[in-house]
Amino acid sequence: MAKKKKEAPITGITVSKEEDFSAWYTELINKAELADIRYNVKGFVVYREWATITIKKMYAKYEELLEKNGHLPLIMPSLIPESNFLLESQHVEGFAPEVFWVTEAGSSGELTERLALRPTSETALYKMYPLWIRSYKDLPFKRYLSCQVWRYETKMTRPFFRGREFHWIESHNVFSTMEGAMDQVKEDMEMTYQMLQDEFGIPIIFFERPQWDKFAGAVSTYAADALMGSGKVLQQPSTHLLGQNFSKPFNIKFIDKDGKEKYGYQTCYGPAISRIYGAMIAYLGDDKGLILPFDIAPVQIAIIPILYKGKEEQVLEKSREVFEKLKKKYIVKIDGSDESVGSKFYYWELKGVPLRIEIGPKDVENQQLVIVKRHDGKKFTIKEDDLINKVDELAQNYTKEIKEKSLVDFEAQIEITYEKDAAIEAINNGKIVCCGFCSIDMDAYQCAEVVEKETGGEVRGKRVDEEKHEFTTCLICGKPAGCTVYIAKSY
Amino acid sequence: MAKKKKEAPITGITVSKEEDFSAWYTELINKAELADIRYNVKGFVVYREWATITIKKMYAKYEELLEKNGHLPLIMPSLIPESNFLLESQHVEGFAPEVFWVTEAGSSGELTERLALRPTSETALYKMYPLWIRSYKDLPFKRYLSCQVWRYETKMTRPFFRGREFHWIESHNVFSTMEGAMDQVKEDMEMTYQMLQDEFGIPIIFFERPQWDKFAGAVSTYAADALMGSGKVLQQPSTHLLGQNFSKPFNIKFIDKDGKEKYGYQTCYGPAISRIYGAMIAYLGDDKGLILPFDIAPVQIAIIPILYKGKEEQVLEKSREVFEKLKKKYIVKIDGSDESVGSKFYYWELKGVPLRIEIGPKDVENQQLVIVKRHDGKKFTIKEDDLINKVDELAQNYTKEIKEKSLVDFEAQIEITYEKDAAIEAINNGKIVCCGFCSIDMDAYQCAEVVEKETGGEVRGKRVDEEKHEFTTCLICGKPAGCTVYIAKSY
């Protein structure tokens, strides 16, 4: 996927993505000015302009889709009283090690109750739901929050991949039946494919997570994994079937059609936009820098006037003309800086601007211009009259092309294994292992521990889309296999 | 402005806005389902769906204007180390009584340094600026954050007006000269007028605040006041000339054209979107409920089919036809509920939907429909063929009409006074007092204390736009007047 180091341009990324993904990612973050890790609280980073603009566009796309599917937005307080938090025992147990606590305020000093900085909003929101939900007519009740959450991570942090504060959407839904809830889980997975694969070019696979790795308080968890460089996966949005695990302690009831009072069935879904951004730039980027889907690029077209002495004015005039034509529909910049043409090319490639238009004196003479696509470097010389048509065509296909290339890359990373040693080797070679396993219930936890200890990978779960592979025995203990699972290292 | 109680519809607001603004506002918030105050942390409220949708649209409008004016977005951590906070002494003194502190995290317990939940982001952001600003070429450096802030308010909280967590934009800018900074202050004021008056229909006046009431750490503060019901003002966006008060302790320097290293000149600007929303619904609303500017209404047009037995299908069909025509351009709902026609009217009026379209059997017969404007109740019977033209026209003028009515109301509330007793009476009658005053420097603080004690109002400062009134003596001490000020009660 990545180009060799010798091809890297002078001002591009100096480390090859293929050779050292981690170093490449760090350099990309710094050189393209996406995040600044020098903020003086550990695990907290600043998202810089170029990243923030795209993240905001990603939020807007996700919110539009959620609203189209009947989810309405709310804004919730970000502080949760400890007493709320204690209501669901598995939930508190799962999150307690990760909570930041507010204990003091103002001059008056200590608060009477500790307040959690929300690590997730179930225990805030579900205190309100009984006040709003009365009857089956209020169901399904589908709401979402666009907000940040805080988690006192002990794992290594990395900009966008994992931080102690991150930015997500959480959707919280109540249904009158378990089937209704399960349908929502399916819709959540569909939305994830639509957004991550179609819009952001990140290939994913959904797994039903093993019981030992589900969301604290859930009946079951369905999570997407994206493949990153160096063969590790990065967890992407997950959706959780909560059943009545929260509706009972939080008293979320409704009067059903039969006049009886019943507890609701719930789901929640959490696309972490900042992490999706991280996966996107990591997955799509190359040794020249960022590659961005067309719609969410902060600048979509960069016009580079190529200036020769004596002919500056006509080139600049033509550039402005092209700019005026395009700006009605696209986000366009003319690079009028003093840098060399080469540096300008490198700069806008580093920033991932999808289309570059070059205009030199010869182009002006011949009423033509040159357009270069960032993601594959393809170059077109076109007649000026064709400008809008050609740009429209390139713009329309750009994200689709990225996506098609991405999907091919993904399946190639999976390796079928029948023995532990082969699995260990495959994992070490940066592959995702597909194998037989006892089950994903708690009683298979011992085999999972062996996986982690001996391969360094984790059981990601059962594939949710079509499973083509069947195994007779468990990779670890050799007993009859209950299911097919995937094993991978993860960030 | 408000209608008399007897005219209030059955399901509208039962308290007259004119008679009891506070009770009216509370009922509006509850009945229109804008906020829920039952969240179990004092001073924190939930913003419900209808409010959240509009607040998001207000953010989008404000951000668009800021970006048009060259401000770029950033996302900053919301936790600020106490050590940052201590760098500017006036700032820390001003904000210390209002800070929520994070002191514990996870299982490991106490943090080594207290972390403030940002009450405002100067001390977070200005630690980063020296890392990003090197030369005069980097200036002006204009950035903004869209985020929430937390303040441990001791004043009474009220949904959207004042809460312990609120949602705002803060813009932080660096210039090479004091003049450049002052120009930004002027641009901020212009943006405020453009947004609040033109887009949101809230009439405001900008005041240079007295020195005793400026932003902690600023050279001077310019703040907008909006007039609320019951004659009190509510502070709206403020912009602060910071000069070098922060750039020195935070070491924000640049190499100037002359090769010398200099400290930057700064400004910051803080439109609190949630509070602007509060001002807007409070100012525009009437005894039927909300009145909303056209662009930011969650639903812009409500279609009410008026059903008579035997003729339901043709009316519903026509309603769907009208819906299909309008939905390409507008946010439209057909109210197909079982409620009575009257209840439907009241409901959508309560919700502030700008246009109502009524379609009954006679209208279908005559190929006509009825359109009613929410803000003034005007009713039009139009030919079906004119639908799009008429709706376009009404939509285009709707916000302008609200604004024109608003502006007239505002100036009428100001009363010129020459004696303290007259001022006290005017304040008690819900007026804003215009009078002579010593000055707005610290040496006039004694007179200001008398104002507060004896009138219950506060000196809001010197009017920034044209001042038409001149006084010879200070209202309080009778010494020669240094300026004209305005006194009002405030929320």
CA closest to B165 among chain A residues: A77
The answer on pLDDT for B25 being more than 90 is yes
Longest pairwise C-alpha distance within chain B: 86
Topology of domain B414-488 in CATH is Translation Initiation Factor IF3 (3.30.110)
- Which chain A residues are closer than 8 Å to B143 by Cβ? 49
Distance from CA of A132 to the nearest CA of B (A): 10
SS3 A55: helix
B22, B82, B99, B123 from B127: Cα distances, Å: 42, 13, 19, 6
Residues of A numbered 134-153 whose beta carbons fall under 8 angstroms of chain B's beta carbons: which are they? 143, 148, 150, 152
Give yes or no for residue B8 having a pLDDT over 50. Answer: no
Report the pLDDT value the prediction gives residue A411, as an integer from 0 to 100: 77
pLDDT digits (tens, 9 = 90+) for B463-490: 999 899 999 999 999 999 999 999 999 9
Length of chain B: 491
What per-residue confidence (pLDDT) applies to A384? 95
- Least-confidence region, from A171-185, A387-401, B163-177, B300-314: B300-314
CB-CB under 8 Å, B56 with A74: no
- Check residue B400 and give its pLDDT: 95
**For the domain with range B5-284, which CATH number is right: 3.30.200.20, 3.30.70.20, 3.30.930.10, 3.30.365.10?**
3.30.930.10
Interchain pair A100, B102: CB under 8 A: yes
Per DSSP, A162 falls in state B
Find the residue in B nearest to A128 (Cα).
B39
Task: Indicate the residue of B46, B53, B81 with minimum beta-carbon distance to A77.
Answer: B46
Say which residue, B11 or A289, is predicted with more confidence.
Answer: A289
The verdict on a CB contact (< 8 Å) between A104 and B101 is yes
Query: What pLDDT, on the 0 to 100 scale, is given for residue B1?
Result: 38
Measured in whole angstroms, how far is the alpha carbon of residue A236 from the centre of its chain? Answer: 5
> Chains A and B: how many Cβ contacts under 8 Å?
155
Distance from CA of B142 to the nearest CA of A (A): 11
Residue spans of the domains in chain B: they are 5-284, 301-394, 414-488
pLDDT per position as a tens digit, B377-389: 999 999 999 999 9
Q: How large is the ipTM?
A: 0.95
The minimal CB distance from A102 to the residues B56, B83, B101 is found for B101
Q: How far is CA B262 from CA A387, B106, B219, in A?
A: 47, 43, 18
Chain-chain contact of B76 with A46 (C-beta, under 8 angstroms): yes
Q: How far apart are CA B473 and CA B487, in angstroms?
A: 15
Residues 360-389 of A with CB under 8 A from B: none
Task: Tell me if B165 and A124 make a contact (CB, 8 A cut-off).
Answer: no
- Average pLDDT over chain A reads 94
Residues of chain B found within 8 Å of residue A76, distances taken between Cβ atoms? 39, 46-47
Q: Does B333 touch chain A (CB under 8 A)?
A: no
Q: What are phi and psi of B356, to 5 degrees?
A: -115, 130
How would you classify the pairing of strands B109-117 and B79-81?
antiparallel
pLDDT surpassing 60 at residue B5 = no
Q: Report the pLDDT value the prediction gives residue A422, as an integer from 0 to 100.
A: 96
Look at residue B11 in the predicted model and tell me its pLDDT: 60
How do beta strands A332-334 and A220-227 pair?
unpaired
Identify which of B38, B101, B143 has the shortest CB distance to residue A105: B101
Which positions ≥6 away from A85 have C-beta within 8 Å? A91, A92, A95, A99, A116, A123
Q: What are phi and psi of A462, to 5 degrees?
A: -90, 135
**Would you state the pLDDT for residue B3?**
38
Name the helix (H) or strand (E) containing A424.
helix A420-428
- The predicted model gives B114-133 an average pLDDT of 97
pLDDT digits (tens, 9 = 90+) for B68-77: 999 999 999 9
Can you give the pLDDT at residue B303? Answer: 98
Give per-residue burial for A95-117: e unless 16+ CB within 10 Å, then b: beebbbbbbbbbeeeebeebbbb
Of chain A residues 288-317, which have a CB less than 8 A from chain B?
Answer: none
Distance from the Cα of A13 to chain B's closest Cα (Å) equals 20
pLDDT at B2 over 50: no
In which band, very low, low, confident or very high, does the pLDDT at A15 lie, cut at 50, 70 and 90? very high
CB atoms A115 and B77 under 8 Å: no
**A173 vs B contacts (CB less than 8 Å):** none
Q: Give B107's contacts in chain A (Cβ within 8 Å).
A: 96-97
Q: How far is A384 from chain B (nearest CA, A)?
A: 29
Q: Find the Cα–Cα–Cα–Cα dihedral B209, B214, B219, B221, rounded to 10°.
A: -50
User: At B54, which amino acid appears?
Assistant: T
Q: List b or e across B72-110, with b for residues whose CB sees 16 or more CB atoms inside 10 angstroms.
A: bbbbbbbbbbbebbebbeebbebbeebbbbbbbbbeeee
Name the nearest CA neighbour of B31 among B19, B55, B7, B15.
Answer: B15
Nearest CA in chain A to B83: A40
Tokens 């600007």 belong to residue: B269
Collect all residues of chain B within an 8 Å Cβ-Cβ radius of residue A80. 41
- Does CATH number 3.40.50.800 belong to domain B301-394? yes
Taking the alpha carbons at both ends of chain B, their separation in whole angstroms is 20
Nearest to B128 among A36, A83, A114 (CB): A36
Per-residue confidence (pLDDT) for residue B272, from 0 to 100: 98
- CB contact under 8 Å between A128 and B103, yes or no, is no
Give CA A115 to chain center in angstroms: 29
Mean pLDDT confidence for A124-135: 97
Record: contact A102-B106, CB cut-off 8 A: no
pLDDT of residue B311: 85
Cβ neighbors of A64 (< 8 A, separation 6 or more) are none
**Closest residue in chain B to residue A99, using alpha carbons only:** B106
Of residues B46, B51, B106, nearest to A99 (C-beta)? B106
Cβ(B190)–Cβ(B464) below 8 Å:
no
Is A128's CB within 8 Å of B47's CB? no
Q: Is A480 exposed, middle or buried (0-12, 13-18, 19+ CB in 10 A)?
A: exposed
Neighboring chain A residues of B159 at a CB cutoff of 8 Å: none
Of A79, A97, A165, nearest to B44 by CB-CB distance is A79
- 3-class SS string, chain B: CCCCHHHCCCCCCCCCCCCCHHHHHHHHHHHCCCEECCCCCCCCCEECHHHHHHHHHHHHHHHHHHHHCCCEECECCCEEEHHHHCCCHHHHHHHHHHCEEEEEECCCEEEEEEEEECCCCHHHHHHHHHHHCCEHHHCCEEEEEEEEEECCCCCCCECCCECCEEEEEEEEEEECCHHHHHHHHHHHHHHHHHHHHHHCCCCEEEEECCHHHCCCCCCEEEEEEEECHHHCEEEEEEEEEEECCCHHHHCCEEECCCCCEEECEEEEECCCHHHHHHHHHHHHCECCECCCCCCCCCCCEEEEECCCCCCHHHHHHHHHHHHHHHHCCCCEEECCCCCCHHHHHHHHHHCCCCEEEEECHHHHHCCEEEEEECCCCCEEEEEHHHHHHHHHHHHHHHHHHHHHHHHHHHHCCEEECCCHHHHHHHHHCCCEEEEEECCCCHHHHHHHHHHHHHHCCEEEEEECCCCCCCCCECCCCCCECCEEEEEECEC
Binary contact (A114, B99; C-beta < 8 A): no
Task: Tell me phi and psi for residue A148, to 5 degrees.
Answer: -105, 160
Mean pLDDT of A110-137: 96
Chain A residues with CB-CB distance to B71 below 8 A: none
Chain B residues touching residue A106 (CB < 8 angstroms): 96-100, 152, 154
pLDDT at B45 over 50: yes
Among the residue ranges A93-97, B62-66, B456-460, the one predicted with the least confidence is A93-97
- Given CB atoms, is B73 within the 8 Å cutoff of chain A? yes
Mean local confidence (pLDDT), A321-347: 95
Q: Given B97, B100, B128, which is nearest A46 (Cβ)? A: B128
Confidence of residue A11 (pLDDT cuts 50, 70, 90): low
Residue contact A39–B99, C-beta within 8 A: no
User: What does the pLDDT read at residue A310?
Assistant: 85
Question: Reduced to 3 states, what is the DSSP secondary structure of residue A166?
Answer: strand
Mean per-residue pLDDT, B427-450: 95
**Dihedral, A196, A464, A140, A441 alpha carbons, nearest 10:** -130
Interface of A with B in 104-133 (CB under 8 A): 104-108, 114-115, 117, 124, 127-128, 131-132
Contact A53 B46 (CB under 8 A): no
Provide the 8-state DSSP code for A48.
-
Render pLDDT for B333-342 as a digit per residue (tens, 0 to 9). Answer: 999 898 999 9
Q: Tell me the average pLDDT across B449-456.
A: 95
Bond preceding residue A140 cis, omega within 30 of 0: yes
Q: What is the mean pLDDT of chain B?
A: 94
Residue B77: closest CA among B32, B134, B127, B22: B127
* Residue B318: band (very low, low, confident or very high) from pLDDT cuts 50, 70, 90: very high
pLDDT confidence tier of residue A93, bands split at 50, 70 and 90:
confident
Which of helix, strand or coil describes residue A29?
helix
Interchain CB distance below 8 Å, B103 and A99: no
The CA distances from residue B81 to A87, A475, B102, B112, in Å, are: 31, 49, 10, 10
> Are B53 and A72 a contacting pair at CB < 8 A?
yes
- Among A37, A64, A100, A154, most B C-beta atoms within 10 A, so best to mutate, is A100
What CATH topology corresponds to A301-397? Rossmann fold (3.40.50)
Mean pLDDT, rounded, for B213-230: 91
pLDDT of residue B338: 87
Distance from CA of B282 to the nearest CA of A (A): 20
Best B53, B68, B100 member to test A by mutation, with max A CBs in 10 Å, is: B100
Rg of the Cα atoms in chain B: 25
Element (H, E) at A117: strand A109-117
CA triple A272-A274-A279, angle to 5 deg: 90
Which amino acid is residue B137, in one-letter code? K
Inter-chain touch B127–A40, beta carbons under 8 Å: yes
A contact residues 15-54, partner B, Cβ 8 Å cutoff: 36, 38-41, 44-49, 51-53
A72 touches chain B (CB under 8 A): yes
Name the nearest CA neighbour of A138 among B333, B33, B346.
B33
Matching residue, tokens 């998001």: B56
